[in-house]
Structure 1
């Protein structure tokens, strides 16, 4: 089994680069990726591997970028299912590619999109779960016993409401996963070094909405550089929420890579003042899948 020191590694295919997570992959049965901004066809501040249709990029370029990103994992675009993202906690089970509603299904256009959700779960092999980010936290979850996986998008709103915990419970409800069998990676996102928030955000965390672990000053929140400002540690918050659900702490890895600090490699909404493209977290199960 992987050790806690197993670090993310670069996966390269020509100019296209992504991080992979041996902490999960060494368990066998899945592939992971967190794409960089390198190796695409988009120009300008959203260049070059922008994977979002929602930031003003040419849709044809986005389709080509998504094709290249999925090719890193050996998949065609039609095998991708993409979370719609509303900064909430809804989880969708996906058992196969979504119906083709037009040219370039899956990652090639919006026909692969699951609207209104921020997390996806599956036990179907060869299906790419995808969430796009530009500072928000991707959380990868894997059950090697039942061969099921989840992928979560958690910004501050989703984290305050316990999005990662909702995904843990969805794996249990849909596939019988026990929290003690789960492994997790809290992926690259904006780090506590760069993420300052105001009092309304602090209040959302202190309320502990939807069963989220309550946070107070000294835990996930520390005073910022100006009055009324706080540094928020989304990494620790998501790690602690997963552990609070029963996932052993030794089976949770925090990648510890700040997208705002590494804007040469990753998109950062905050560091780029709202002009960022989007990278993607991707997880794919290998081998025989569970019957739906």
Structure 2
């Protein structure tokens, strides 16, 4: 499922290999929990880095806490970041987040780690971390206020983590915009913003409808029926909420969520299967 962890943002110095030459580099990030690196030692190991493989982590960066433990910023951004090995310590490179949001060194980040990806040349192999489990890790030196806030919100992130597989599947098959809308809808739903969640679930259904309309991979009458279903679902969800002059409460938001999730999962798995079969199909082109 996911790993929720809190860690201090630190500055690191390392090196990057360019044309067999090591060049110095500076980056800002957070250290990955030891339990994660131990559990996935086949991926997070010096031999992986030395062999030229690249490792990335897909994460959701949620909140920023200052040294006193106060929430000073809500980032709520999904990002795939490099994992860098430094003296047998594995660091998640969050330099972009650090710069984009002007987060000071020494502040604490709340990070939801969803999956790890190994890149070898043009091939990428991904895996969800801790399937069917929700774990969280907090170092002993964090302020008690941070611990209380994170623990109190863990239920929401646990629910989100259980559904993130669908979000990740959408990204895997190239539907990043739909993936981002689904994530935002889920965040708002579990945060109690039902009106806001309905708007994003409606965007998900609209995006899927456009995909079905344009996708050649969906065959026969299935394409017609899916398009018709998504059009009706879009009309239904559009009748919920303030934009339609009505109120979108929990029952409407839950129905909108379930429609968006179920159709997203089906289409992502269907397209992934089709993409896999196309890669395995040998070319019939003959050289004259």
Q: TM-score, normalised by structure 1?
A: 0.29
Structure with higher strand content: 2
Q: Which has the higher contact order (CA 8 A, sep 6+)?
A: 1
Larger radius of gyration: 2
Bigger share in helix: 2
